[in-house]
């Protein structure tokens, strides 16, 4: 890795939690310089603007979520049902790693960027689409193997699961209690067993 790439990575890693906790608009250049120990000139020598840092940070955080979901889905499970349930276990067991660092970075960015940061909104939309595609792959595999009902819409269920997870995270974060997220995850498992499994 070249020096410039190392510096960019360093800036991204040192500021990711700050952006996720404070928000993309509220994180200031002085927050970035304080977190990294670098000068303003050094930051702007590696990024054209604070917005460029914000997008790079979001991509970094979104990749973290994507890799965690892929890892959960990629394990060797006896059934496609177990692979879907693995996503609920990822969030059930990973409560602390998401909440201590400010909550779900996809949810945070999507909420903030909706009307104020159109470029970031594009990136968040793509991140949710990528997550949905991973779930769709598992559902499609279950349909092909005969494990899942053949008349279900995989994409609809993928987005329903994401809505339940993100809604559960939002309420749990707001009330500082895990129970809302756990209820959402329990509901996903019930939907899998009652509506998806053949």
The pLDDT, as a whole number, for residue 1 is 61
Buried b (16+ CB within 10 A) or exposed e, 10-33: ebbebbbbbbbeebbeebeeeebb
* Residue whose entry in the numeric block shows the structure tokens 């595999």: 141
pTM: 0.89
The pLDDT, as a whole number, for residue 10 is 95
Size of the chain, expressed as the number of residues it contains: 198
pLDDT digits (tens, 9 = 90+) for 159-196: 999 999 999 999 988 888 889 999 999 999 999 999 99
* Residue whose entry in the numeric block shows the structure tokens 């005969």: 146
C-alpha to C-alpha distance for 53 and 42, rounded to whole angstroms: 12
Closest CA to 47 of 29, 67, 72: 29
pLDDT digits (tens, 9 = 90+) for 12-64: 999 999 999 999 989 999 999 999 999 999 999 999 999 999 999 999 999 98
Q: What are the structure tokens assigned to 86, written together?
A: 């693995």
């Amino acid at each position: 890795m070249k020096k410039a790439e190392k510096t960019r990575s360093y800036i991204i890693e040192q500021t990711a939690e700050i952006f996720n906790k404070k928000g993309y608009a509220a994180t200031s250049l002085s927050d970035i310089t304080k977190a990294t120990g670098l000068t303003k000139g050094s930051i702007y020598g590696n990024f054209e603007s604070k917005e460029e840092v914000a997008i790079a940070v979001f991509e970094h955080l979104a990749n973290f979520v994507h890799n965690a979901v892929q890892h959960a889905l990629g394990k060797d499970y006896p059934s496609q049902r177990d692979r879907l349930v693995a996503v609920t276990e990822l969030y059930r067991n990973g409560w602390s790693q998401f909440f201590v660092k400010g909550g779900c970075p996809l949810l945070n960015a999507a909420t903030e960027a909706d009307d104020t940061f159109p470029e970031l909104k594009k990136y968040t939309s793509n991140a949710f689409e990528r997550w949905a595609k991973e779930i769709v792959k598992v559902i499609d595999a279950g349909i092909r193997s005969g494990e899942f009902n053949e008349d279900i819409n995989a994409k609809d269920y993928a987005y329903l699961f994401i809505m339940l997870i993100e809604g559960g995270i939002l309420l749990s974060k707001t009330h500082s209690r895990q129970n809302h997220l756990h209820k959402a995850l329990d509901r996903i498992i019930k939907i899998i067993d009652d509506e998806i499994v053949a």
